[in-house]
């Protein structure tokens, strides 16, 4: 069974850092892209970024709103992807989901809540 489980969310002060994990099971992580998508309370889905499969040399792309502050990485041997977040702002407060993809985001994790507040 395909599963994605996010962890690492929590409360962080503005300007702080946080690293989220996305543990994959039931499939080979190296064969898929992994996307991160966030959703502020009561709002719609906002794409954060993606990291390519091994075949795409793990290339990364980011939304303009997080470029230069967030970094996505992947450890295929551990079947885990990561979202490292720096210089966090209050507007980064959201539930963060990871999802696997080839032509579509076909499986999503349950999400982890990140709250940026003083």
Looking up tokens 């990364």 gives 60
Q: Which of 15-23, 38-46, 74-82, 83-91 is the region at the interface with another protein (rule: CB under 8 A)?
A: 38-46
Pick the closest to residue 115 from 4, 16, 1, 2 (CA basis): 16
Q: How many other C-beta atoms lie within 10 A of the C-beta of residue 26?
A: 10
Contact pattern from residue 49 through residue 88 relative to another protein, giving x for each residue in contact according to CB under 8 A and a dash for the rest: -x----------x-xx------------------------
Sign of CA dihedral 84, 37, 50, 81: positive
Q: Which is nearer to another protein, 50 or 74 (CB)?
A: 50
Using CB under 8 A as the criterion, which residues of the chain lie in contact with another protein when the complex forms? 35, 37, 44-47, 50, 61, 63-64, 97, 99, 103-111
């Amino acid at each position: 069974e395909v599963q994605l489980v996010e962890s690492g969310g929590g409360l962080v002060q503005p300007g702080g850092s946080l690293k989220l994990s996305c543990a994959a099971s039931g499939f080979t992580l190296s064969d898929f892209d992994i996307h991160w998508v966030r959703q502020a309370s009561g709002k719609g889905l906002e794409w954060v970024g993606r990291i390519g499969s091994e075949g795409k040399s793990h290339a990364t792309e980011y939304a303009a709103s997080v470029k230069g502050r967030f970094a996505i990485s992947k450890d295929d041997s551990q079947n885990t992807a990561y979202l490292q977040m720096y210089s966090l702002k209050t507007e980064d407060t959201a539930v963060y989901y990871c999802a696997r993809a080839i032509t579509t985001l076909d499986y999503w994790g349950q999400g982890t809540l990140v709250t940026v507040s003083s």
